A and B are shown apart, each in its own frame.
Chain A
Amino acid sequence: MWVDLAIFVLVSVGSIYFYITLIHHNAMMMIHEVFTASGLHIEMIDLDIYTFSMSAFDISFHYNSQITLFYVLLLTVGLMLFLVYQTKIPLNLVFWIDFLLLLTAIFLVYFIFWPTYFPYNAKKYFELYLHAYVGFMLMSFIVFSFSLALTPEKLGKKLFILSGVIAYYFVYSFVRLAATLLLVSQVSVVFVPLMYFTIFYDFILIIYIYTFVLYKNTIKSQGLYHG
């Protein structure tokens, strides 16, 4: 098990290294190309992430009018209250959604009252975002490596699963970054903190995949580990 773990951690760290030094830049070029072709002209900038140089885009955040934000706030609070008083959706999900809505409401209040104090521009924000996302991916892969190492399954298969997960995360990270770019530049600045604070939700992808792997294993070895 410990050998498996060492290999998985090495693969995880190695993949993140390639992500930072190679894959990310190429993906950014591609996003740039697609955005340009769609009529969105944005400049590429270089950021210093964990002492490596990574690319991002120089955009300006889309600040909405205070009255719009106020209406959205009313809507958010209304939705929160509705969820609390309805009986159809189970309480655990109500709390979960309300938590997200609460975060949104806090951000809305901030941007209604103190938009001028907002300390981030695109460079600073993407520096923060990429630091967080790269750190998050590395930690996710390492946690996944630990749980995968525990799983009674062949090393080759586990390695294949880990590689698959890493690849999926990489692609997903670019899609998420593109979505963030569009949201903060085209829709609202409120998504700036929201897209940052919801990064950790993405860990659920690891759990989905891990549980499915173990489920597949039970079909094969039913009863073997029982007791």
Chain B
Amino acid sequence: MPSNPTFLMAGVFGLFFLMLFLPAIPMIQAIRNRKDVEPLGMDMDFVFNPRFQAIHFENLLKNAARDFNVIPLEERLDTSMVPMLSRKPLLFRTKGDITVDGTIDSKAILDAGGAIKFHPNARIHALKSKEHISIGEESMVDLWIDSGAEVIVHKNARTNLITAKTVKLYKGSSFKRIFAGTIGFYPLNKEGENKIGEDIVHTKESLNVEAQALYLDKNETIKADSSIHSDVIGRGDLRIEKGCSIYGSLKANGNLEIENNVHIYGNIFCDHDITIKHHCFVFGNIFSHTYIRIGHNTQIGKYAAPKSIIGIKGIEIAGGTFVHNYILTYGEGRVV
């Protein structure tokens, strides 16, 4: 113990500064070392393209021999063909048509030159073919399906990403992201594929939003058979009754409900749920921050001019509906 005020002062002040600066050591180290100082990485060449997965798929298979355990096949793939031990992921390859049966290894990919047909209850990681792919009832493809032609997803089958020319889905099937020229939902409605119309992005001619759009401050309903030639913006819930035609885009800050036989020649944006009932027709994109429900025999987008349906939390689509070209959800997409 110090017996002199000078020692005492030296001790106390020493301890004081030590305790004040001790926790600063990591900071001082970081200043001296100067690690982790590079600008945050950013992909300057990234271009949003839903076919990215398919392109990535192509690239992945280019070096198949290096990255995969490649197993040649004839006409059939079933569980007995899966090797017991494999260090690398499996890649089954065939030049012709093939059928898949049973649960294949969870990392297995099937690359076929011809058509692929799933038996019910089969399961695989990913599929690729230039021809027709048919996913059997209750089957499951974990990651992606890429086809140069048509993909048919049967009842209660579960899929993730599909890129194809056309995709048709049966009731009970599920998806997360589909990119195809036409996306149909069984029972298919072959009529009324509309090739007219345009996506209206209005030139805004007025100062405030109210003067250029039908601006609805509270929860409102647009009466049946109305025809509106402007955008419609609802600050609350918005309901469009049957038979209306809206030549502009729709935006609702609450929920949006669109009844039967409504035609919308613009985009639909909504902060909450969008419910579109039956026999409707939407030329533009549909975007909801939550859920989208689309009734039967509705048509979204037009052929060769891709439009998107994006329901961040989930999408439900009923039979007879057609979509051009893109559906995406981060939740679950279901055919009802």
Contact = CB atoms under 8 A, between A and B. Distances in A.
Nearest to B18: A175
Contacts of B8: 34-35, 38, 40, 182
Contact of A186 (B3, B5, B7, B20): B5
Nearest to B7: A38
A209 interface: yes
Interface stretch (B9-17, B246-254, B314-322): B9-17
Nearest to A208: B23
A109 to B, nearest CB: 25
B11 to A, nearest CB: 9
Given A38-B3, A39-B3, A172-B19, A208 B12 contact: no
A97 to B, nearest CB: 15
A179 B15 CA distance: 9
Contact of B16 (A40, A175, A205, A215): A175
A100 interface: no
A116 interface: no
A178 B15 CA distance: 10
Contacts of A39: 3-5
B39 interface: no
Contacts of A208: 23-24, 26-27
B83 interface: no
A178 B5 contact: no
A179 B23 contact: no
A175 B9 CA distance: 11
B72 interface: no
Interface in B19-47: 19-20, 23-24, 26-27
Given A34-B8, A208-B26, A176 B16 contact: yes
Classify the secondary structure of B's interface with A: helix
A92 interface: no
B207 interface: no
A86 interface: no
Given A176-B16, A182-B9, A186-B9, A38 B27 contact: no
A38 B11 CA distance: 11
B24 A34 contact: no
Q: Range of interface residues on chain B?
A: 10 to 19
Interface in A191-227: 202, 204-205, 208-209, 211-212, 215
Interface in B186-236: none
B1 interface: yes
Nearest to A39: B5
Contacts of B5: 38-40, 182, 186
Contacts of A89: none
Contacts of A212: 23, 26
Q: Which of the listed residues B1, B9, B12, B13 has the most CB atoms from chain A within 10 Å of its own CB? A: B12
B3 A215 contact: no
B2 A38 contact: yes
Contacts of A3: none
Contacts of B27: 208, 211
Contacts of A171: 19
A179 B19 CA distance: 12
B4 A38 contact: yes
Contacts of A38: 1-5, 7-8
A67 interface: no
Contacts of B3: 37-39
A175 B1 contact: no
Interface string A14-50: 0000000000000000000011011110000000000
29 contacts: A34-B8, A35-B8, A37-B1, A37-B3, A38-B1, A38-B3, A38-B4, A39-B4, A39-B5, A40-B5, A40-B8, A168-B19, A168-B23, A171-B19, A172-B20, A175-B12, A178-B12, A179-B12, A179-B13, A179-B16, A182-B13, A204-B24, A205-B23, A208-B26, A208-B27, A209-B23, A211-B26, A211-B27, A215-B26
Interface of A: 34-35, 37-40, 168, 171-172, 175-176, 178-179, 182, 186, 202, 204-205, 208-209, 211-212, 215
Given A38-B4, A39-B3, A208-B26, 13 more contacts: A35-B8, A168-B19, A171-B19, A182-B5, A182-B13, A186-B9, A202-B20, A204-B24, A208-B23, A208-B24, A211-B26, A212-B23, A215-B26
Pairs of residues from A and B, 8 with the lowest C-beta to C-beta distance, nearest first: A208-B23, A38-B8, A179-B16, A212-B26, A172-B19, A178-B12, A37-B1, A38-B2
